[in-house]
Structure 1
Amino acid sequence: MSVTTIIVTTVVGALIGGITNTIAIKMLFHPYEAKYLFGKRIPLTPGVVPMRRKEASKKLGNIITEYLLTPDVFVEKLKSKESEKFIDLFIDKQIEIIEKENISISDLLNKVSPNLRHKILEFLYYEIDTKVKNSSDELMFRTIESLLPEDAKEKLDNEVSTLHLTLNERIISYLTSDKGYNDIYTMIDDFIENRGKLERAIKYVVPKDTLATRVQGELVQLLGNEDMKNIERDFILREYESLIKQTPSSYISSIDQEKITSRASSIFKQKINVEELLDRPIHLLNKNLFDSLKSSGKIRLRENIIHYLGKHIPGIVQNLHLAEVITRQIDSFDIEKLEFLVFEVARNELKMIMLLGYVLGGFVGFIQGIVVPYIV
């Protein structure tokens, strides 16, 4: 056994072990691309990380989305005290801005899109015109009876059933008045004077005032007769039943319908006054409601936001395709920069691995220098 042999084997073993570990570490990233010799790829090129990057990025994306960034993690974070505090501060800030700057619904719409307010007004006015026209078209061909509310129909039936009595009373009141008598006298006078000689001779036999009084009395007696009252009642009821079975289209022309519909639409638009509502500051639309929002309402608003987001986060996360995003980002990451980051973070550990290679190689060489002479 020679000391020189032991030293040589120790040094050689240390160099072999250290250089092997150094090369192995370098081969994690180098070479960045495959190398070819005589048209055939040289084994172990490119390095392990460049060669397996696509596979690794895909698996890493799946691991992150399946075990780390799961919907439950987002929901849990959303329901944390920090998130609640952040949402409360955000709501308070927005309420303050709305109140101080007199923000209106139109202002919010303009921030979304400059023409959004105009489009909404067009849509609302179109809907009003359409609804009014459709309702008008429907009502025009329904019977008048079906258009009457039940209590109104019942009241109208009662009024019509006694209408003949009211008419009789008013006609009798008219006939027995001075005007009624004078009108009867005038009609008798016109009748006699506009007839032949024989008829005109009647006035010499029976005075016209006597005839007027007699006609007046007969008419009043006729109207007071029960049979006459029944005739009037039956006639009115027949006409009434016939009327309510008709449709408005029987009495209103299409041109008149268009005028009525147009007028109704205009009245609706004036009453609703959507433009004024959109331009009015939000905090003045309903001051009590806005004050309630600033106190207890914002808590309910925050709870609703959290509930809504928590309910839809699984779908949002799924639609984001986070695994694909992570895979794509890793694939597009510069390999040289990735190498720099890895070596920068694990510099001390990698140095220890290389040093360990030298130590283990030297130890193996030392043992080899002692054992080999005895074997040989």
Structure 2
Amino acid sequence: MNIWVILLNIGVGSVIGGVTNELAIRMLFRPLKPWYIGSWRVPFTPGLIPSRRDDIAIQMGRLVEEHLLTTEGIKRALTQSGFENTLASWMNNVATGWMSDERALRHALLQAVPEIFNEEGGWSDRVRTPIQLHWQAFVDRTLYHYEEKTLRELISDNGKKRLDDTLGYISQLLLTRFREYLHSPEGQQTLQNMVRGLLGGGGGMFGGLVGMFLGDDKILGKLLPHLDELLRSPELAQRLHLFLQNESDKLLDKNVGEIVSWLGRDQVDEWASTLFAKLEEQSLRFVDTPMSRLTAPFQESVKSELVPRVAKWMVETLQQNVERIFQRLAVRDIVTRQVEGFPIERIEEMVVGISGREFRMITVLGFILGGIIGLVQGLLAGWLG
């Protein structure tokens, strides 16, 4: 038996086995495009993965949707992964940083909307004009909506009671202030002038005789105690309260349209503009207040109550709408498009990077098997020869 023939068979078989395995591995990815000789396409071109990219993309999308990224898996992950605590912790950090900021709210608004303020520091026309138009439209809608309603219908029972109490207080206050005025030097002078006018100007002969014998001081001394007693009497206070109450009832029975006509629409519009200016002024003061001062009254409640509730609500809402979200997202289509657009070179690099050692072992195994086959062939050829 010729040993050289056996060695030659082993070498040839080993080379054929190794090169064949290496070529098979390469043909998974190469060539990227079909090869043509004239109009005839060379078989097995392009490689397996490039030629079946569309099928692979569809199968990958189906795999991800049906087995990897499922709605049940997402719900289970949201429940068991502590996502709610993580979300609450993140929200707490954000809220704490925001509420402890010593800068004014104006700074945050400028970062979000640079053109929100004008050069003087007030609201820009882009912000102020639409709001003012909405305010005027709101006033007009309100007046039109309540035009036929009386003021009595618009005031609650508690408001009516407070109005009645206020009228009683006003009646007592008026009588008290009138008594204080009569006992003041200015009030006594006014009363004295009235007495002099009565006795001197319109009293006739009787008035002249009374003024001659009594005098102004004596008349005031007699008149003031009676006036003071009259102003102290509950009956006068009750009568004044009843008078004010009757007048208020007349006003309450008028509808809004009558009140607006009585005041004049120009006056109502002026009041609306004045109120808008006051609100605008207050809003500018508000935005110039530091965030820490604005949020100080409710910082603790935000951290201990609001944030956990919002985090819990968000997780529960997400769990309830996972299926709807997945339907809207169309996970299968997304994965399919991503795989279709993924470069083959990058896929080859990833696969070789992960399985390079195994591919080399397949090549080595091809050399070994090819050598064994060559040895067997050499032995059989020598035995049969």
Range into which the TM-score falls when normalised by the shorter chain: 0.5 to 0.7
TM-score by length of 2: 0.60
Distance 2:289 2:264 in 1: 36
Equivalence for 1:138: 145
Give the unaligned 5+ runs of structure 1: 157-178, 187-239
Q: Does 1:343 align with 2:352?
A: yes
Offset of residue 60 of structure 1: 1.6
Q: Tell me if structure 2 keeps the 8 A contact 1:132–1:265.
A: no
Matching residue's letter, 1:21 = N
Number of paired residues? 296
> In the superposition, relative to structure 1, how do residues 326 and 122 fare at CA in structure 2: closer, same or farther (>3 Å)?
farther
Equivalence for 1:256: 264
> In the superposition, relative to structure 1, how do residues 131 and 288 fare at CA in structure 2: closer, same or farther (>3 Å)?
same
Q: Give the 5 Å matches for 1:55-204.
A: 55-79=55-79, 83-84=83-84, 86-115=86-115, 124-142=131-149
- Classify the secondary structure of the residue corresponding to 2:30: coil
Matching residue's letter, 2:98 = I
Q: Does 1:270 align with 2:281?
A: no
Distance 1:53 1:102 in 2: 57
Distance 2:105 2:111 in 1: 10
Distance 1:125 1:9 in 2: 98
Offset of residue 311 of structure 1: 4.5
> In the superposition, relative to structure 1, how do residues 28 and 85 fare at CA in structure 2: closer, same or farther (>3 Å)?
same
Residues 56-98 of structure 1: CA deviation (Å, up to 9, x unaligned): 2332233224322334444544455564554344334323422
- Classify the secondary structure of the residue corresponding to 1:34: coil
Q: Does 1:369 align with 2:364?
A: no
Deviating more after overlay: 301-310 vs 29-38: 301-310
Equivalence for 2:363: 354
Distance 1:16 1:263 in 2: 100
Matching residue's letter, 1:91 = M
- Classify the secondary structure of the residue corresponding to 2:14: helix
Q: Tell me if structure 2 keeps the 8 A contact 1:14–1:363.
A: yes
Deviating more after overlay: 50-59 vs 331-340: 331-340
Distance 1:88 1:143 in 2: 51
TM-score by length of 1: 0.62
Residues 107-130 of structure 1: CA deviation (Å, up to 9, x unaligned): 444433324685666555444332
Offset of residue 300 of structure 1: 3.0
Distance 1:329 1:292 in 2: 45
RMSD, aligned α-carbons: 4.3
Offset of residue 15 of structure 1: 2.3
Q: Tell me if structure 1 keeps the 8 A contact 2:100–2:292.
A: no
Q: Give the 5 Å matches for 1:304-343.
A: 304-312=313-321, 314-343=323-352
Give the unaligned 5+ runs of structure 2: 118-122, 164-194, 203-248
Offset of residue 36 of structure 1: 0.7
- Classify the secondary structure of the residue corresponding to 2:46: coil
Q: Tell me if structure 2 keeps the 8 A contact 1:128–1:265.
A: no
- Classify the secondary structure of the residue corresponding to 1:345: helix
Offset of residue 35 of structure 1: 0.7
Matching residue's letter, 2:376 = I
> In the superposition, relative to structure 1, how do residues 254 and 114 fare at CA in structure 2: closer, same or farther (>3 Å)?
farther
Q: Tell me if structure 1 keeps the 8 A contact 2:18–2:367.
A: yes
Matching residue's letter, 1:356 = L
Offset of residue 362 of structure 1: 2.5
- Classify the secondary structure of the residue corresponding to 2:102: coil
What fraction of aligned residue pairs are identical, expressed as a percent?
A: 25
